[in-house]
A = this chain, B = another copy of it.
Amino acid sequence: MRELEVIERLRRIAKAPEARGLLDDVATLDTLVLTHDTIAEDVHFLSHDPPASVGWKLVAVNLSDIASKGASPLGALLSLTITGPGDWELDFLDGVEAACESYGLSLIGGDTIGLPVGAPRVLGLTAIGRSGEHVPHRSGALLGDELWLVGTVGDAAAGLALLEENQNADGPLVDIYRRPVPQLEAGRILAPHAHAMMDVSDGLLLDARRMADASRCAIRIELDRLPLSSAFVAERGQSLDSRLFAATGGDDYALLGVFPAKFNPATLSLPSGTRINRIGSIVGAGPRLVLTFGGESIELPEKLGFEHESFDTRRLSSSKLGHRP
């Protein structure tokens, strides 16, 4: 597979410790964390997606990586292609601006280039955050720790499924698919207590397995404990199948944190409305992922989430749209 060769080649180039082997959500420099995501039309977003929502999402998914390291948004450099007639780019920038304003991210530079009409749009953002005193990586999970999830899973995947049936679909599930909310404040408050943390973008199971890989541990997820929104349950119920859909759908931008057993989120001043739930534990050496439902072991589904031709694990889970070549 050419992609794997390319990624292998990149890993060989990226030898500096700041690169963290291209295995974490972010690179670190001084007190800064840095991440870059690129999205392409017909690959990571649909041509008929509202351009403002594409702009919002590009910013929000980068900020989700910043959030997962407990960092605060600082600045961003935008790479914008301009193509075709119409106001697509201006509308896209409305979404970029709204997200930047909402989360206190300053646009400080970047580049625009023209592309031939008809070429797919390619949009990139380098986001920079100021880290707190402790930057939790993926690799710190220890035997006996517990696994917590901030936010819910499945909403965005359910919203995308609605849009695939009907591109005019709307409602809360479509909204969360289009306008994900980075858990910045929760991430900042939780990071000092976390042994490991990352954001869930490609599917809870896939991202949990990545954490198990990085921490060389066995992670058990209890599917009964998955937090599901009322809108999700109303649309898809909460059967085992629905829970597996939610756990593999991706685009959640929830935070997956590993904390010591004594951790009690009630002692922290998390933002009002924060959903934080224990969903599993670190149960042994690994890397391994174990699922249970109703106290019984469940076989892992064939697809844990959306794998990417990415040399890091920091790209948009929206690349799972199924429009990838």
By the criterion CB–CB under 8 Å, are B310 and A112 in contact? yes
Highest count of chain B CB atoms <10 Å: which of A29, A43, A80, A314: A29
User: A128 with B325: in contact, given A13-B93, A13-B96 (CB under 8 Å)?
Assistant: no
Which residues of chain A (12-30) have a CB below 8 Å from chain B? 13-16, 18-19, 22, 26-27, 29-30
Q: Which residues of B contact A7 (CB under 8 A)?
A: 112
User: Closest approach, in angstroms, between the C-beta of A87 and any C-beta of chain B?
Assistant: 8
Q: How far is the CA of A154 from the CA of B101 in the complex (A)?
A: 44
By the criterion CB–CB under 8 Å, are B309 and A108 in contact? no
User: A108 with B18: in contact, given A114-B325, A310-B113 (CB under 8 Å)?
Assistant: yes
Is A311 an interface residue when CB atoms closer than 8 A count as contact? yes
Which residues of chain A (86-115) have a CB below 8 Å from chain B? 87, 89-90, 93, 96-97, 100, 106-115
By the criterion CB–CB under 8 Å, are A6 and B310 in contact? no
By the criterion CB–CB under 8 Å, are A311 and B44 in contact? no
Highest count of chain B CB atoms <10 Å: which of A27, A30, A109: A109
Per assembly, the copies of the chain total: 2
Q: How far is the CA of A175 from the CA of B3 in the complex (A)?
A: 30
Q: How far is the CA of A309 from the CA of B83 in the complex (A)?
A: 11
Q: Which residues of B contact A314 (CB under 8 A)?
A: 109, 111
Nearest chain-B residue to A3 (Cβ)?
Answer: B82
By the criterion CB–CB under 8 Å, are B36 and A110 in contact? yes
State which of A119-127, A234-242, A279-287 sits at the interface with chain B: A119-127
Q: Which residues of B contact A31 (CB under 8 A)?
A: 30
Q: Which residues of B contact A111 (CB under 8 A)?
A: 36-38, 124, 310-312, 314-315
By the criterion CB–CB under 8 Å, are A14 and B108 in contact? yes
- Pick from B5, B80, B97, B309: contact of A113, CB under 8 Å: B309
Q: Which residues of B contact A312 (CB under 8 A)?
A: 109-111
By the criterion CB–CB under 8 Å, are B13 and A43 in contact? no
Q: Identify the A interface with B (CB < 8 A).
A: 2-3, 5-7, 9-10, 13-16, 18-19, 22, 26-27, 29-32, 34-40, 42-44, 74-75, 77-83, 85, 87, 89-90, 93, 96-97, 100, 106-117, 119-120, 122, 124, 126, 128, 308-312, 314-315, 319, 324-325
Q: List 27 A-B contacts (CB under 8 A).
A: A2-B85, A3-B112, A6-B90, A10-B93, A10-B107, A14-B107, A14-B108, A16-B106, A16-B108, A18-B108, A19-B107, A22-B110, A27-B108, A27-B109, A34-B75, A34-B109, A34-B126, A36-B109, A36-B126, A43-B115, A81-B122, A113-B122, A113-B308, A113-B309, A113-B315, A115-B120, A126-B126
9 tightest Cβ-Cβ pairs between the two chains A and B: A16-B106, A27-B109, A27-B108, A36-B77, A122-B122, A126-B126, A19-B108, A14-B107, A38-B79
